[in-house]
């Protein structure tokens, strides 16, 4: 079994393109970027809905 799953776009599941990895196209890459920007604008003061990588805030400085 080849590990094809490692080479798929995380957004749409299509084969990713080397140029836009880990995404398949600029469209998917932009979509992901927009998500980051959106979160950045919100600047969550409390815990985020994800609550996964809070360690960054404590171990930062
Ligand atoms: Zn994609």
Determine, yes or no, domain membership for 36.
yes
Residues with CB under 5 A from ligand 1 (ion): 9, 11-12, 14, 24, 28
Determine, yes or no, domain membership for 49.
no
Q: Residue 44: its pLDDT value, please?
A: 59
Determine, yes or no, domain membership for 20.
yes
Give the separation between CA 49 and CA 17, rounded to whole angstroms: 30
Determine, yes or no, domain membership for 58.
no
- Taking the centre of ligand 1 as the mean of its atom positions, its distance from the CA of residue 41, in whole angstroms, is 24
Q: Residue 39: its pLDDT value, please?
A: 74
Determine, yes or no, domain membership for 27.
yes
Instruction: Write the pLDDT tens digit of every residue in 2-58.
Output: 554 568 999 999 999 999 999 999 999 999 989 888 877 666 566 556 655 556 665
Determine, yes or no, domain membership for 26.
yes
Residue span of the structural domain in which 33 resides: 7-43
Q: Is the dihedral of CA 52, 54, 59, 61 positive or negative?
A: positive
Contact assessment for residue 9 and residue 22, using Cβ atoms and an 8 Å cutoff: yes
Determine, yes or no, domain membership for 15.
yes
- Taking the centre of ligand 1 as the mean of its atom positions, its distance from the CA of residue 19, in whole angstroms, is 12
How many domains is the chain partitioned into structurally? 1
> What b/e sequence results for 11-47 when a residue is b if at least 16 CB atoms lie within 10 Å of its CB, and e otherwise?
beeeebbeeeeebbbeebbeeeeeeeeeeeeeeeeee
- Taking the centre of ligand 1 as the mean of its atom positions, its distance from the CA of residue 48, in whole angstroms, is 25
């Amino acid at each position: 079994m080849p590990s094809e799953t490692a080479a798929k776009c995380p957004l749409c599941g299509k084969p990713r393109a080397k140029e836009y990895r880990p995404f398949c196209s600029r469209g998917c890459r932009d979509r992901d970027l927009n998500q980051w920007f959106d979160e950045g604008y919100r600047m969550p003061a409390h815990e985020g809905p994800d609550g996964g990588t809070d360690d960054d805030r404590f171990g930062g400085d």
